[in-house]
Amino acid sequence: MTAAPPSPLTPTPAPRRSASRNIIVVMLGTLGSRLSGIVRQLIINAFPPALTDAFFLATRVPNTLRELLAEGALVNAFIPVYKSLDEGERRRLAQAFSGVLIGVNLLLMALGILAAPAIAGLLVPPGSQISFELVVYMTRLLVPFLMLISLSAIAMGLLNADEHFRESSFAPVAFNLASIAVLLLVPQTSTWLALGWLIGGFAQLLVQLPALNRFGLLPIPALKTHPAMRRVLNNMAPFTLTAGARQILNFYVQRLLSSGQYPLGTVTGYNNAEALFTLANGLFVVSPALAYFPRFAQHAADRDWAGFRALTLQALRLVTFLAAPTSALLVALSGQAVSIFNTGRTFDAAKFQAGSGILEGWALALVPWAINTILLRTFYARERVREAVTVSAVGFVAEVLLYRLLTPVFGYFGFGLATTLAGVGVSVALFALYRRRLGFPLRPLLLHLARVLPLAVVAGLVAWGVARVLPAPGRLLPGLLGLVVAGGAGGAAYLGLALALRLPELNGVLARVGRKRK
């Protein structure tokens, strides 16, 4: 029997590539991005603490708007709708959506510049050692970053939807390299610190344009409507509300850290911990999630729920296999990790204590975050966004309440402990919603975690024991020595035990390496 020809409305699929190849490409791009970001953070740490604290507070404004409008909300809302359309409709949707986004960005930029004093007032409480006027000035310089990152997010969404991950994954490297060049070549002033950020955003957009043009994906923005636009906006709206709740939490934390309760340098220490956590989370959690997401969306468009469940289990096993040892090693070596930012001759105790304490707590949250990152994308792919964001919003409220309860008792460690407990609660709720709709083979995942988590604990203990005989952390060289020697010992212990137990995730990686050598 001859198969019927495809309907004109049937989506034109992108060439299928190996899922493992996509994951490796995204992870390599993320690794380059995060490592170059660490270098950029190192250079910024050489600036005076009064300047860096103000700068990191000012970056919260464009980063907040970026989360609300671009990157996460856009990519997660746009790809499932885009994948359900034929080639011509995809192009028209991209043109309409990019035109609307540019218009909204222009409006937000104007509002951000005018409202900079009010925004700075939310971040800098009375009595703070951080200059209010400096935060206002740098906020106004940084607001145009939103337009650059929003256009870059459109480019990323279009490339990722067709599984062209290389160009979009390495674009953040261009951001970091451009920023680093500016910071190294110009005076250490607030103006150039902010302009380096803007120039980096322009570079991130610019390097993706040739790929968009080569694959025929470059949209010409147009102020027009498209029937699928409502679906994208419906998906974006609840996600934006969730991202907004997350940013309210960030504002709360930044205001708390910039109060007179904590010494100067604490905000910079917090951002150092954040840079290291996002390195680990981006490499071992977000990268696989980005690579899997277009396939989740395609399974949902095809209503292939058996394949969808199988892909969910595969993704969860992989990210927890990677996140568990990383979490244990960061807990054991948090002091060594934040020491890499101390390139000067003097030891800034406030910056070190804040960074190491916050990172140690956040490291515990890595496995729950890994599970939530995958599960949330299964909801976005099915366009069941409201369920996911409702659970996430409740989780953020719980996290704020836990901050208030735990930080007075546990100090800096309480920030991460609150995130961990809230993350576990969100995981349980998302699993319940997922299983009610689709069913889920929970037993194989629990058996996997029962093997992986104890191995990670052993790796952390090995790293902690080796670190005890090495020089104390606090400066760059002892920090690097601890990460390489103690971290290497812990990582080797984890891999050796995983190999002995024949965990399929490790065997899959080894098999792929073997094929490459042949």
Position 12 pLDDT exceeds 50: no
3-state secondary structure of 352: helix
Position 511 pLDDT exceeds 70: no
Q: pLDDT tens-digit profile of 106-120?
A: 888 898 889 889 888
Q: Which two tokens stand for residue 488?
A: 């290497």
Q: Are 407 and 360 in contact (CB under 8 A)?
A: no
Q: Which two tokens stand for residue 13?
A: 């699929």
Q: Are 183 and 43 in contact (CB under 8 A)?
A: yes
Asked whether residue 45 falls in the same domain as residue 171, the answer is yes
Asked whether residue 162 falls in the same domain as residue 97, the answer is yes
For the chain, what is the domain count?
2
Mean pLDDT, rounded, for 471-486: 90
Position 88 pLDDT exceeds 90: no
- Percentage above 70 pLDDT, the chain: 88
**Of 222, 238, 254, the domain-final residue:** 238
Position 15 pLDDT exceeds 50: no
Q: What pLDDT score was predicted for residue 14? A: 45
pTM of the model: 0.72
Distance between CA atoms of residues 396 and 385, nearest Å: 16
Asked whether residue 455 falls in the same domain as residue 408, the answer is yes
Q: pLDDT tens-digit profile of 213-272?
A: 888 888 888 877 888 888 887 777 666 666 666 666 777 777 777 766 777 778 888 888
Asked whether residue 77 falls in the same domain as residue 190, the answer is yes
Burial class of residue 303 (count of CB atoms within 10 Å of its CB; 0-12, 13-18, 19+): exposed
Q: What pLDDT score was predicted for residue 179? A: 92
Q: What pLDDT score was predicted for residue 24? A: 81
Residue 66 confidence class, pLDDT cut points 50, 70, 90: low
Q: Which two tokens stand for residue 396?
A: 């953020």
Asked whether residue 296 falls in the same domain as residue 216, the answer is no
* pLDDT, mean over the chain: 83
Instruction: Tell me which of 38-47, 213-222, 508-517 is least confident.
Output: 508-517
Distance between CA atoms of residues 51 and 510, nearest Å: 47
Asked whether residue 298 falls in the same domain as residue 223, the answer is no
Position 9 pLDDT exceeds 80: no
Distance between CA atoms of residues 253 and 125, nearest Å: 12
Asked whether residue 267 falls in the same domain as residue 393, the answer is yes
Instruction: Tell me which of 10-19, 114-123, 330-339, 357-366 is least confident.
Output: 10-19
Instruction: Tell me which of 82-91, 307-316, 357-366, 418-427 is least confident.
Output: 82-91
Position 372 pLDDT exceeds 80: yes
Asked, for residue 4, whether it belongs to a domain, the answer is no
Q: pLDDT tens-digit profile of 296-338?
A: 988 998 899 999 999 999 999 999 999 999 999 999 999 999 9
The whole domain housing 283 covers: 262-513
Asked whether residue 167 falls in the same domain as residue 285, the answer is no
Asked whether residue 400 falls in the same domain as residue 268, the answer is yes
Q: Which of 79, 508, 29, 39 is nearest to 287 (CA)?
A: 29
Q: What pLDDT score was predicted for residue 240? A: 65
Q: What pLDDT score was predicted for residue 17? A: 54
Q: What pLDDT score was predicted for residue 449? A: 94
Asked, for residue 10, whether it belongs to a domain, the answer is no
Asked whether residue 211 falls in the same domain as residue 268, the answer is no
- Percentage above 90 pLDDT, the chain: 29
Q: Which of the listed ranges 18-27, 83-92, 408-417, 485-494 does the model predict with the highest average pLDDT?
A: 485-494
Instruction: Look at 403 and 465; give whichever has higher pLDDT.
Output: 465
Position 505 pLDDT exceeds 90: no
Q: Are 34 and 278 in contact (CB under 8 A)?
A: yes
Asked whether residue 359 falls in the same domain as residue 406, the answer is yes
Distance between CA atoms of residues 459 and 462, nearest Å: 5
Q: Which of the listed ranges 98-112, 280-294, 319-333, 376-390 does the model predict with the highest average pLDDT?
A: 319-333
